[in-house]
Structure 1
Amino acid sequence: MLRHTAPLGIGLPPDEELLLDAPDDRLAPALVAAGGGDHGPAAKALAQTREAAEWENRDRAVQRLAAFAAARPEWFEAWQEASPHDPDLLLVKAELAVTRALASPAHAELLREVTPLILAAAESDPRDPVPWRIALDHARGTNAPHTEFEQLWARAVRRSPHHYGCHVAALRYLSAAWYGSHVECFDFAERAAQDALPGSLLKALPARAALAYLTSGAPRTGIPRARLDAAADLAAELSRSYEPADPWPAEVRNLLTCVLVELERWEDALGQLRLIGPYATSFPWDRLTDDPLGHFMELRGQVRLEVAATMPLRGGPAGPDDHYA
């Protein structure tokens, strides 16, 4: 094991080069400027996503900016004073309010007060699906019945049928942890993946359902192993369609790695760690620990040891039958 562990580290960046939730090249300067109190670059970056109808980029940027505003509110307060009716500001404001409310034990009551913010964001640009992703998160926290969820879902997909963020929000609502079941969650995820465009992150939605099932703490008797492996294989196929160390699919690769570890598919997990490169993401590791980056570092070592344990003394990988020995 010791002999094999070091070579297995080839292709893995050292710990000191790892980045947690690194922003893309367009958003990074906006966050730096916001840290200095200037909201202008953030407003411009979001406006560009709206004007170009880049809804996936817009959703990611809104979530990152809302998280930054929660920690460093000065720039956001200045933005509100300067442009209170800016449609991009309204969207970040709605996301921030929903995120804060969901984190509170009294989330149902707090979320009812947020409804006007979501409606204002939705009315500011009727094309935009992101307010409806926020509305789906809001519905989950307010114990909305399935009929209301289905109405919101219809509005979301009418604006963008393949929007990843809206599908993730719907999957959470349908999960066993909220108002559905593991089977319902898988059925929804598999349908979405089947209808997805080539290269779409929706191909990883079944792996996300698998992650929820495997980390639920419940007995693993409801979903067949073959269905879990198929979900992981589909996400792996998606991962291979992107370049190594690409920040865009980083979260999908991180969640896939977690699924592969839970399934004890160690060599496949090592392959994903190499594709991840330096781009660790808080999700899914924050489901397991309060130190996502530290856990990610430890996991890389664990996976290398597990792969080394399957290798014969004279080198070379073990045969396929040895992986589940």
Structure 2
Amino acid sequence: MALLPAFLRTARAGRRVPRPAARPAADDEVLLDAPDDRLGPALVAAAHGEYAPVAALLAATRENAEWEHRDRYATRLAAFARSRSGWLDDWRAARPDDPDALLVGVRLMVDRCWDSPVRAELLRQAGPAVTAAAEGSGPDPVPWRIALDTARGARTGHAEFERLWAEAVRRSPHHYGCHVAALDYLAAASPRAHRECLDFAETAAQDAPEDALVRALPVRAAFACLTAGGGTTVDRARLDAAADLAIAHAAGYPAADPWAAELRNLLTYVLVRLERPRDAAEQLRLTGPYVTSFPWDRDGDDPLGRFLQVRDGVRAAVAGGRG
């Protein structure tokens, strides 16, 4: 498609030592969407109506250019604020110009629009405010990731999306969240764009530093192919290669690490769809007790139950010598 070459051009712009794996978690020990040890205390404080720990956490991610953490933390905090927003309201009232409070507020606004049956219209209306917030965010790519998500939901044309994409990668050429937003846009723009999605993801991964999370982007593209019916239109070798690259990247994270849980859960999902139960079982072992709603929520409203069901199936397949 016409959008792909621009993506591929701009996508070109010490591994951690793994620790021993924890024992496999029992069903009643599994935790859904557990925060890491930095986000956890901030969420507890927010539950008590206190915003200062949240402000300190997000300020640290901005000052230290921890863009992957900032993206994930802002998303989780906005999700929490959907049901308990008093702390965010107080924060924004006390510090109306705080870029971190603005970031969470914009993420929350966009997430609420996504739930509406008139999503596209609401996101088109929200677009100027989202873009204005991004333009005032300095080197931070995360507001541009939100702008990219907004553009996808609003069904923005290629030219405007490419403009937003250029602004995002100018700030952080290898930011995983922005690449996921672009990958989702490619997939939504053409139901048959499976090869293009893999082309984009493979190029981004190839050009990224060894320790960048975007190195695992091809497995996200493989997930899109497999869940959208593209698994039969893409060479199986490319899907296996995407999974293998993600396995290699995930090996750099400690076992039973909540930060790596989403990648390992996604990787497990893809490996199961590729009928590689032994590799899936290894990822389940490394994941430990940490389950993430994505990708299991794609199969229904009970992601934890779906995870446990799949885990039982993997164990049975390995015990029976299959795969």
In structure 2, distance between residues paired with 1:210 and 1:123: 32
Q: Cα–Cα, structure 1 residues 131 and 179, in superposed 2: closer, same or farther, change >3 Å?
A: farther
The answer to whether the aligner puts 1:286 opposite 2:297 as a matched pair is yes
Q: Deviations over 1:190-209 (max 9, x none)?
A: 00111111122212111111
Q: Note the C-alpha offset of 1:123.
A: 3.8
CA contact (8 A) 2:148 2:178 kept: yes
Q: Cα–Cα, structure 1 residues 179 and 71, in superposed 2: closer, same or farther, change >3 Å?
A: farther
SS at match of 2:102: helix
Q: Note the C-alpha offset of 1:131.
A: 0.7
| Runs (5+) with no aligned partner, structure 2 | 1-21
The answer to whether the aligner puts 1:79 opposite 2:85 as a matched pair is no
Equivalenced residues, count: 301
SS at match of 1:287: helix
- 1:92 counterpart (100, 104, 109): 104
Q: Cα–Cα, structure 1 residues 187 and 219, in superposed 2: closer, same or farther, change >3 Å?
A: closer
The answer to whether the aligner puts 1:54 opposite 2:66 as a matched pair is yes
In structure 2, distance between residues paired with 1:189 and 1:53: 23
Structure with the greater relative contact order (CA < 8 A, sep ≥ 6): 1 or 2? Answer: 2
Amino acid at match of 1:190: E
The answer to whether the aligner puts 1:302 opposite 2:295 as a matched pair is no
> Which residue is 2:57 aligned to?
45
1:91-240 matched pairs, under 5 angstroms: 91-175=103-187, 177-179=188-190, 181-216=193-228, 218=229, 220-240=231-251
The answer to whether the aligner puts 1:257 opposite 2:254 as a matched pair is no
Q: Give me the TM-score of the superposition, normalised by structure 2.
A: 0.89
Q: Deviations over 1:215-273 (max 9, x none)?
A: 12x36421011111111111111111222112222111100100000011000000000
In structure 2, distance between residues paired with 1:120 and 1:144: 16
Q: Structure 1: which 4+ aligned runs deviate by more than 4 Å?
A: none
SS at match of 2:259: coil
| Runs (5+) with no aligned partner, structure 1 | 1-9, 311-321
CA contact (8 A) 1:91 1:118 kept: no
In structure 2, distance between residues paired with 1:38 and 1:124: 26
**Bigger CA radius of gyration:** 1
Q: Give me the TM-score of the superposition, normalised by structure 1.
A: 0.89
In structure 2, distance between residues paired with 1:219 and 1:141: 22
Amino acid at match of 1:102: W
In structure 2, distance between residues paired with 1:34 and 1:113: 29
CA-based RMSD of the aligned residues comes to 1.5
Identity of aligned residues (%): 60
SS at match of 1:125: coil
